[in-house]
Amino acid sequence: MSVIVTDAGFAATDWAADLDAAEILTLPSDTKPQDVDLSGAPKLVRVEFPSSADGRGFTIARVLRDHGYTGKLRATGHVIADQYAMARRCGFDDVEISDDLAARQPEDQWKFRANWQQNDYQSRLRGA
């Protein structure tokens, strides 16, 4: 099983469970985002994070958004609570984590970082 993390915390249900396999595109972390064909307009693009130290998924999300993808983007795999704000700033809508990770990093740790639109480096510079 897995847990979906949103700005409100752990989601009770996963809206993507009702999608057909054809409506979901899963991208490994070594995908070259400029080569991704989104002509089929998937409703959900899942970007895999094999390790919390592998940040290539953040770049994939940013490039997909910059190239006009407006559907749902989900980070999945080894994303930790400390990375939640960065995931949201890069364009992810939510994060999918394992039950084990959710037990080690409970909901309050994720919600603490849900205020991703403030307290970033740029905001601190502008406020100084």
The total number of structural domains in the chain stands at 1
How far apart (Å, rounded) are the C-alpha atoms in residues 102 and 65?
27
Q: What's the pLDDT at 115?
A: 79
Q: Which residues contact 82 (CB under 8 A, 6 or more apart)?
A: 113
pLDDT at 113: 84
The answer to whether residue 1 is domain-embedded is no
Calculate ∠ Cα 63-68-73, nearest 5°: 65
- State whether residue 50 is helix, strand or coil: coil
Q: Which of 9, 56, 47, 3 is nearest to 25 (CA)?
A: 47
What pLDDT score was predicted for residue 117?
Answer: 63
Burial status of residue 77 (CB atoms within 10 A of its CB: 0-12, 13-18, 19 or more): buried
- Within a domain: residue 118? yes
What's the confidence (pLDDT) of residue 13? 85
For residue 61, which of 89, 19, 37 has the smallest C-alpha distance?
Answer: 89
- φ and ψ of 73, to 5 deg: -115, 130
In this structure, is residue 69 part of a structural domain?
yes
Q: Is residue 71 part of a domain?
A: yes
* 3 occurs within a structural domain: no
The SS3 of residue 89 is helix
Domain membership of residue 87 as a residue range: 22-97+104-127
pLDDT at position 122 is 65
Could you read off the pLDDT tens digit of each residue along the chain, which spans 128 residues?
799 999 999 998 898 989 998 899 999 999 999 899 888 879 999 999 999 999 999 999 999 999 999 999 999 999 999 999 999 999 999 999 999 999 999 999 999 888 766 655 666 666 65
Q: Say whether pTM exceeds 0.85.
A: yes
pLDDT at site 128: 56
Q: Is residue 63 part of a domain?
A: yes
Q: What CATH number is attached to the domain comprising 74?
A: 3.40.50
Whether residue 6 is contained in a domain is answered as no
Q: Would you say residue 13 lies in a domain?
A: no
Rounded CA-CA distance 2/89 in Å is 22
